[in-house]
Structure 1
Amino acid sequence: MKLDQNKTPLLDALQEFKKMRMVPFDVPGHKRGKGNPLLTDFLGEKCLTVDVNSMKSLDNLCHPISVIKDAEEMAANAFGAKSAFFMVNGTTSGVQAMIMSVCKHGEKIIVPRNVHKSVINALILCGAVPIYVNPKTNDELGISLGMTIDEVHDAILKNPDAKAVYVNNPTYFGVCSDLTSITVMAHKYNLKVLVDEAHGTHFYFGKNLPISAMAAGADMAAVSMHKSGGSLTQSSILLCGPDINPHHVRQIINLTQTTSASYLLMSSLDISRKNLALHGQEIFAKVSEYAEYAREEINQIGDYYAFSRELINGREIFDFDVTKLSINTLSLGLAGIEVYDLLRDEYDIQTEFGDVANMLAYISVGDRRSDIERLIGALSEIRRRFKKDKVALFKTEYINPEVVMTPRDAFYSDCVSLPLDDCSGRICTEFVMCYPPGIPILAPGEMITSQIIEYIRYCKDKGCSMTGPEDMEVERLNVLKEE
């Protein structure tokens, strides 16, 4: 039954609360902003008056029985899920809850290696064992692709005791796997299907877009409402299908999610859900139109390649998200991160990220045509001003790692810190990644090679933001201590 998506249970409760003139002897300590005038001046009184603590009239995210429960039910209905959970620790906590809900210590989960760090963090927390499907790469574009049905089937046959299959859909660059076929096959072998849908909120509301996880029959999906859905940063929704016990999932979520949930974040989810349910088709038609227009204009500039559905091959690129404006810069003689930096420093344009070969301009609900024109014009000028000969650029952003230990065993093992150049042949016990997108170059338990060291240095030299290691300068790595 379709619920009335005009309703906003949590927002309405907060509006009623504001009328009550309640005297606060609870937390937060700023007491509706009166105790911190500078903060109130910066954020506004309207914001601070609803930065409140859980109370009877406003429900409690850890154990919702009234308005939060109603708001979550509205979200589940809008997304076509059996149940939904508001997440205020970002999609990271949603990803961790998915994995920890279906996998225990020592149990196997089939995952693509080009996962976000939150996946491997979940494996460290719960002790599940990853069975990696190393994705194919497009060496001309320098991007990793989706999982094929054959690769997943082969992994299941080799690991019949696996508990789940984890799918990135879409990837950061907009690449989609054959999610429906993977789901049908996984269910045939009694495996759950978990989907990282951080960049796919719009799949549920737009037309002519790749299929959503819930429509494909997946068991769980973590959706970043704050990315393409318009809610506040750090707010997310975890969706579950009919064969998942929502009460167990709530217990797992409560292991890691805060007990002091932000009503600013939760109300933004309630409001954004309403907006997308009522206007999403119109919104994402415009987003698609903007992205396609930008893609066409950028490809006419020369040397840039804004790729799209022409890459679809029915296998590792089963479908493509046309709202993703991914731009390859190799023919320009510049790394994607260099174009990213030039756009910010020379033209006051902040794009989502750049790596060694590509940059991503995230187009979503809040963009205007004038912004698109400004981006196109800036890219044209960058080509005129900064174009170089195409030399010495890495052709791949992904190096197949050799997995020697489970992430958990490596992370908690005794380790030593060595200079980067002395780490070849040793087992890494920490992460190394460019952020964004947060896909590890190295994860705990993987063998460090000279090629990986060269790649890390190349990323640093090009200006990528390197994160993960204990050493903030990324000149040393923690490696497994030898006996």
Structure 2
Amino acid sequence: MTEKQSQHRAPIMEALIEFKKMRVVPFDVPGHKRGKGNKELTDFLGERCMSLDVNAMKPLDNLCHPVSVIYEAEQLAAEAFGAANAFFMVNGTTSAVQTMIMSVCKRGDKVILPRNVHRSAINALILCGAIPVYVNPEVNHRLGISLGMRLSEVEKAILQNPDAKAVFINNPTYYGICSNLKAITELAHRHNMQVLVDEAHGTHFYFGKNLPLSAMAAGADMSSVSMHKSGGSLTQSSFLLTGKNSNASYVRQIINLTQTTSGSYLLLSSLDISRKKLALEGEEIFAKVVQMSQYARDEINKIGDFYAYSKELINGDTVFDFDTTKLSINTFDVGLAGIEVYDILRDEYDIQIEFGDIGNILAYISVGDRQQDLERLVSALSEIRRRYKRDKGGMLRHEYINPLVAVAPQEAFYAPKKSVPLSQSVGQVCSESVMCYPPGIPILAPGEQITSEIVEYILYAKEKGCFLTGTEDMEVNHINVISKE
């Protein structure tokens, strides 16, 4: 059987189709019994969807210990991604990121990582007790965004921490910035450290032509891939990929520490079917996505003041490459925060983009987009500039502040704490996270010292309408700090 022929199969989907033909009488969970127990829900989601929302059983395999159709589907996914193993993840890429870290780190172990990681990586440190060694990314001050990891800074961190277990890399960032993945991987391996890559926004790297290098192609040990983002599967479904030197059986054990024992077959089949589509048509699909993104980028840059950036940022190090599918747009020269443009697009133009932060917005372009939708976005941005442009004086210019790490994340999170007003928290050590979501990169993480600059940033983000999460106080008027009493 050739590779192309094998990728025509979708074993989980095929098994579900056969199962549906059997007309099995269900005396198992879920309790809606193929939708018969909740007509309103069935009318809303559809009979086919409800009839396929089934429990693990012998003909359908078991996600916790796959031996038949799920195992076959994982093998096909591994082949499609060029990995030694692929694990189906139904707790999202959050679960995959946490599995990577917990597979290589125990309490007290060090892991080298950029501070602009997703909250899931910080939370993994809280769960397993690993110690972060942060490589602070440089910032593009014009755009106010953090960049990739500088190779020399990674080397410095490795030499200063030869006992670190792994190097963790974001690739690409939310904005499309890529680090020198291959060089960092080779450097880490020379020092007997594993390489873990958060590729939540890089599914397409495996299937498109002339896109940045994927983690598996670079020789990384593990990678987490959000198939539901640019890959087209259902929300919350992802892959965890491992290289040839990883212990797949142990990784499965770590996955099973936190992943549900009731894996959704709707999510599993969506991974299976989407993998099939990308394996067979991915090159053509992502060529179209790149073309659409470039069209929109060119048109937006003709408007004036908005800046849709791309490969011109490449400098061979902190911006080693750029993901041209990403339509990242700086809003600073319009005098509007990214979150303000985000709100205007949604509230006045019925356009929902991926996120807006202090100075940028991201319109996520994928297989499902159409040319006319891009034209509508361009037209709306042109109108927003005409209607809302204002003086940019007094605007904050950055989305990243270098942290002052005082205590390990796990120790800080579980330490005795007290709640103090945000305005009175300067100089104290935070025991929880504060972040704008999306993108979900903590402004503060447990164990970091609160500074006046950070408080100013949080207040500015609140004023502009950013959705702040992570704190026990839902209004983020108070913050938990380590109690010294």
TM-score by length of 1: 1.00
Write the deviation string for residues 204-234 of structure 1: whole angstroms up to 9, x where unpaired.
Answer: 0001100000000000000000000000000
SS at match of 2:62: coil
Q: Which residue identity does 2:55 align to in structure 1? A: N
2:3 aligns to what SS in structure 1?
coil
Residue aligned with 1:196, SS: strand
Q: Deviations over 1:320-368 (max 9, x none)?
A: 0000000000000000000000000000000000001000000001001
Which amino acid in structure 2 is aligned with residue 336 of structure 1?
G
Secondary structure, in 3 states, of the residue corresponding to 2:291?
helix
Deviation at 1:149, TM superposition (A): 1.1
Could you say what secondary structure the match of 2:95 adopts? helix
Q: What is the percent sequence identity of the aligned residues? A: 70
For residue 408 of structure 2, the aligned residue among 390, 396, 406 is 406
2:348 matched residue in structure 1: 346
Equivalences for residues 23-62 of structure 1 within 5 A = 23-62=25-64
The Cα shift of 1:404 comes to 0.3
2:167 aligns to what? Answer: 165
Distance 1:470 1:7 in 2: 47
The CA deviation at 1:390 is: 1.3
Whichever residue aligns with residue 468 of structure 1, its letter is: G
State the 1:474 CA deviation: 0.3
Partner of 2:93: 91
1:111, 1:202 → 2: CA distance? 23
Q: 1:225-374, aligned counterparts within 5 Å? A: 225-374=227-376
Deviation (angstroms), 1:12? 0.1
Aligned partners of 2:150, 2:455: CA distance in 1, in Å?
Answer: 29
Aligned to 1:476: 478
Structure 2 counterpart of 1:461: 463
- Distance in 2, Cα, partners of 1:374 & 1:205: 28
Give the aligned partner of residue 2 of structure 1: 3
| 1:424 and 2:426 correspond | yes
- Give me the whole-angstrom Cα distance separating, in 1, the residues matched to 2:159 and 2:288: 43
Whole-angstrom distance in 2 between the partners of 1:41 and 1:421: 50
| Distance in 1 separating the partners of 2:136 and 2:187 | 19
Q: After superposition, what is the alpha-carbon deviation per residue over 1:57-88, rounded to whole angstroms, capped at 9, x for unaligned?
A: 00000000000000000000000000000000
Q: Aligned residue for 1:439?
A: 441
- What is the DSSP-based 3-state SS (H/G/I as helix, E as strand, rest coil) of the residue aligned with 2:88? strand
> What letter matches 2:88 in structure 1?
F
Which runs of no fewer than 5 residues in structure 2 stay unpaired? none
> What's the TM-score, normalizing by structure 2?
0.99
SS of the residue aligned with 2:406?
coil
What amino acid is the match of 2:396?
F
What is the CA RMSD across the aligned residues, in angstroms? Answer: 0.6
SS in 2 for 1:294: helix
- Counterpart CA distance in 2 for 1:336 and 1:61 is 40
Secondary structure in 2 matching 1:109 = strand
Spell out, residue by residue over 1:7-57, the C-alpha distance to the aligned partner (whole angstroms, 9 max, x if none): 011100000000010000000000000000010000000000000000000
The residue aligned with 1:103 is 105
Partner of 2:120: 118
Question: SS state of the match for residue 215, structure 1?
Answer: helix
Which aligned segments of 4 or more residues in structure 1 are displaced greater than 6 angstroms?
none
Distance 1:95 1:439 in 2: 14
> Within the alignment, does 1:212 sit opposite 2:214 as a pair?
yes
Distance 1:391 1:336 in 2: 15
Aligned-partner Cα distance in 2 for 1:19–1:388: 62
Q: What's the counterpart of residue 393 of structure 1?
A: 395
3-state SS of the aligned residue for 1:264?
Answer: helix
What's the secondary structure of 2:373's corresponding residue?
helix
1:471 Cα offset (Å): 0.2
Number of the residue aligned with 1:200: 202
Question: Structure 1: which amino acid aligns with 2:375?
Answer: E
Residue type of the alignment partner of 1:2: E
Moved more, 211-220 or 382-391: 382-391
Secondary structure of the residue that 2:40 maps to in structure 1? helix
Aligned residue identity for 1:326? S
Counterparts of 2:16 and 2:394, CA distance in 1: 56
Question: How far does residue 389 in structure 1 lie from its aligned partner after superposition?
Answer: 1.1
2-side partners of 1:185 and 1:397: how far apart?
Answer: 29
| 1:11 corresponds to | 13
Rounded Cα–Cα distance in structure 2 between residues aligned with 1:102 and 1:453:
34
- One-letter amino acid of the counterpart of residue 461, structure 1: E
Aligned position for 2:188? 186
Q: 1:21 aligns with which of 15, 20, 23?
A: 23
- Using the alignment, how far apart are the partners of 1:40 and 1:304 within structure 2? 45
- 2-side partners of 1:216 and 1:87: how far apart? 22
Give, in angstroms, the shift of residue 2 of structure 1: 3.1
